[in-house]
Amino acid sequence: MQIKKVAIIGTGLMGGSLALALRKNFPDFDVWGYARSEEAFKRVDKYLPGRVERDLGKLVKDADMVFFALPVQAIIDHFQKTALFLKPGAIVCDLASTKSAIEKAAKQYLPKSVKFVGCHPLCGSEKSGIEHSGPDFYQGAVCVITAKETRRETKAVVQLWEALGMTIKFVPARQHDQLLSGFSHLPHAISFSLVRAVEIRPEHIDLVPPSWKAMTRIAQSGADVWTDIFLSNKKNLLKDIRKFQAALKELAVSVKAGEKDKIEQIIKQANKVWETH
């Protein structure tokens, strides 16, 4: 499969870093970004000079690969917006943090003539925007692919991510969403709730230990991206929140009852689980 033009729709941290990484590792590719507004155009043009397009149809009609690097719902919307223009045979990828809703939308909205390969590079950041992007952003991280390993287009996508320094893991969309709910979506829900529950006045900031900062770093994560992640993985997330609440309640009940042995047992179990990670 000969790739000449790559289009990236969504040029924030993930999409911007992908553009820079592709230009570094595949100098023959013609890498284009999309900017919806004049303001975004100016911002993105600094990083992809002369390679920013404001017309979606024009951007994708001759693109051999199209990456959607947007929040989940925006990806689904842009599948619909681009469906009529995508080039037959093009490979279409997304970089979203939940995969079942995207896979369903791909089946529903994308033309049969394009090849969809769902991807989730596990290297998000609480920072956002092309200003924080870099060509080595993907280096050393894991990329989940939800498409079948044996398909020709999957192999092309694997090669591309591997060239950017990623390790590939094949996980079906449904299982991906179950696992990432616990490993990532629940921790984000907890971190957002922790900073909302505990007031820190400026005069007490010196009393905040490093562990607080580690626990709340991800509470900076963007509302647009995370609202969509929570809603598109609702069932798994609510199940994991319930499990977590039950575990915390068990600890609280033991503290309230003054059950020293039980609390020790709970913490030792946590220590033991930690060791296996």
- The 3-state DSSP class for residue 167 equals strand
Q: Quick one: which segment of 21-29, 109-117, 131-139, 210-218 binds a second copy (CB under 8 A)?
A: 210-218
237 lies in the binding site for a second copy (CB under 8 A): yes
Question: In the complex, what is the shortest distance from the CB of residue 20 to a second copy, in angstroms, rounded to a whole number?
Answer: 21
Which residue number, 163 or 195, has a Cβ lying nearer to a second copy?
Answer: 195
Min dist. Cβ of residue 63 to a second copy (A): 30
Sequence-distant (≥ 6) Cβ neighbours of residue 108 within 8 angstroms? none
Per CB under 8 A, which of residues 245..264 are in contact with a second copy? 245-252, 255-256, 258, 260, 263-264
Q: Is 83 in the site for a second copy (CB under 8 A)?
A: no
Subset of 162-181 contacting a second copy (CB under 8 A): 167, 169, 171, 176, 179-180
Q: Minimal CA–CA distance to 90: which of 68, 61, 115?
A: 115
Least distance in Å: CB of 82 to a second copy? 23
Instruction: Report the nearest approach of a second copy to the CB of residue 122 (Å).
Output: 5
139 binds a second copy (CB under 8 A): no
Residues in region 91-110 near a second copy by CB under 8 A? none
Q: Which of 216, 31, 227, 228 is nearest to 133 (CA)?
A: 31
Burial of 123 (0-12, 13-18, 19+ CB in 10 A): middle
Cα 57 to Cα 81, 152, 241: the distances in Å are 8, 26, 41
Q: Which amino acid is at 153?
A: E
- The reply to whether 140 sits near a second copy by the rule CB under 8 A is no
Stretch in the footprint of a second copy (CB under 8 A) among 13-21, 104-112, 129-137, 202-210: 202-210
In this structure, which amino acid lies at residue 2?
Answer: Q
Smallest gap from residue 25 Cβ to a second copy (A): 22
Interface with a second copy, residue 202, by CB under 8 A: yes
Burial zone of 120 (CB within 10 Å; 0-12 exposed, 13-18 middle, 19+ buried): buried
The nearest distance, CB 93 to a second copy, in angstroms, is 18
Q: Which long-range contacts (CB under 8 A, 24 or more apart) does 105-108 make?
A: 105/75, 105/76, 105/79, 106/79
